[in-house]
Amino acid sequence: MKENVIVGQSGGPTCVINSSLAGVYKACKDLGVNKVYGMLHGIKGLVNDEYVLLDEKLPYNIDIDLLKRTPASFLGSCRYKLPDMKDDKALYEKIFKKLEDLEIEYFFYIGGNDSMDTIKKLSDYAESIHSSIRFIGVPKTIDNDLAMTDHTPGFGSAAKYIATTLKELVCDCRIYDCPAVTIVEIMGRNAGWLTASAGLVRGEDSEGVDMIFLPEKVFDVDYFMKRVKEVVDKKQYCVVALSEGVKLADGRFVCELASDNASVDAFGHKMMSGSAKYLETLIREKMGIKARAIEISTLQRCASHFASLTDIEEAYDCGATAVRSAIYDRETGKVVCMRRISNVPYKITYGVQDVHTIANVEKNVPLEWITDDYVTEDAIHYIRPLIQGELNPIMNDGLPRQIRL
């Protein structure tokens, strides 16, 4: 094949985003693609002439194995909002001139909701100028909030890490005989999928966390305090899983009660943090007992040493599916999606969907899967297959070996 490929990674990383990159690269080489370029720091890097030839950076088979085991974005990432075509046509002309100079015929972008917006805009512009370049999005986000797909690569591993961490935390919290509350803040601005994974902890060897609060339902501070007191009175300790984006009835985020100076990113999203800390302070002041706020923060998206094998394999297959869809089926303006065939045994199929039905659309946890302070068995049955299996790290002097550019 004379046509070349370019691939990039964008947005918040996951511990399997590089597995998707490995899937794209390996499928390209298996199909005889001439050159595979990698954008450094996503579309922003391409605009700034920052790219590498992946054929030179991934010369050995072990590089693919290490990519599958390395967290974060091998090519770097960005949070760059591509302007609308009508607002900056010159930028699009610049981007397509660069793609033409590199003889690019296939463009793959691994990312979440905002990244799919980039695929939408670029494919729309390509259509408007009758360009033959094919644009395909490869899904990625621990938030699991992309529409039209059963779930997203990255979510299963983050859910596995969160559930494991909370299970161990419950063991630690129950050893003392004095009243204490632990509030764990988990990522999730508008969608509570990650926090819902806390429900996996409850089982025959663990009583699990005591309460789970997601942003899909209004958060009532008075109800929260009442329930905390009930649990503490009953068994001394209380463990709460809380989405960072829980909101009050008036629409304010709980974290805004602690600070009115929340910054925003390039897409206008408020930077979330502080909900658990605010509630910790409230418990100390109102109830006079020990309270601790824990923010898992970025650890939940980069713990590759304990990634889900199911997640790693699906991320890889999503990358490979994108390549086959573009080259074999001549698809463009599409996003790779997964459809669940069955839960037991767990089985999915891969396909593509129109990016216009996915970009800028959020998928939330169904309200029927959420109670006042927990999640239902339907939520647990949905998440559990996604955390199965492990891929042992390649160890080097007692630590996991990784690959870097």
Please list the active-site residues: 143
Contact 55, 32 (CB under 8 A): no
SS (H, E, C) 211-265: EEECCCCCCCHHHHHHHHHHHHHHHCEEEEEEECCCECCCCCEHHHHCCCCCCEC
Question: What does 155-168 look like in DSSP terms, one character per residue?
Answer: HHHHHHHHHHHHHH
Distance of alpha carbon 67 from alpha carbon 74, whole angstroms? 8
Number of residues written out for the chain? 405
Helix axes 309-327, 17-30, angle to 10 degrees: 40
Ramachandran angles phi, psi of 285, nearest 5°: -75, -40
Question: 66: Cβ–Cβ under 8 A, 6 or more apart, which residues?
Answer: 394, 401, 402, 403
Could you say which DSSP state residue 375 is in?
A: B
Cα–Cα distance list, 367 to 87, 146, 209, 363 (Å): 38, 17, 20, 12
Distance of alpha carbon 115 from alpha carbon 59, whole angstroms? 28
Distance of alpha carbon 209 from alpha carbon 182, whole angstroms? 10
Q: Which long-range contacts (CB under 8 A, 24 or more apart) does 206-211 make?
A: 206/167, 206/170, 206/171, 207/170, 208/167, 208/170, 209/166, 209/170, 209/184, 209/239, 209/240, 209/241, 210/238, 210/239, 210/240, 211/238, 211/239, 211/240, 211/241, 211/373, 211/374
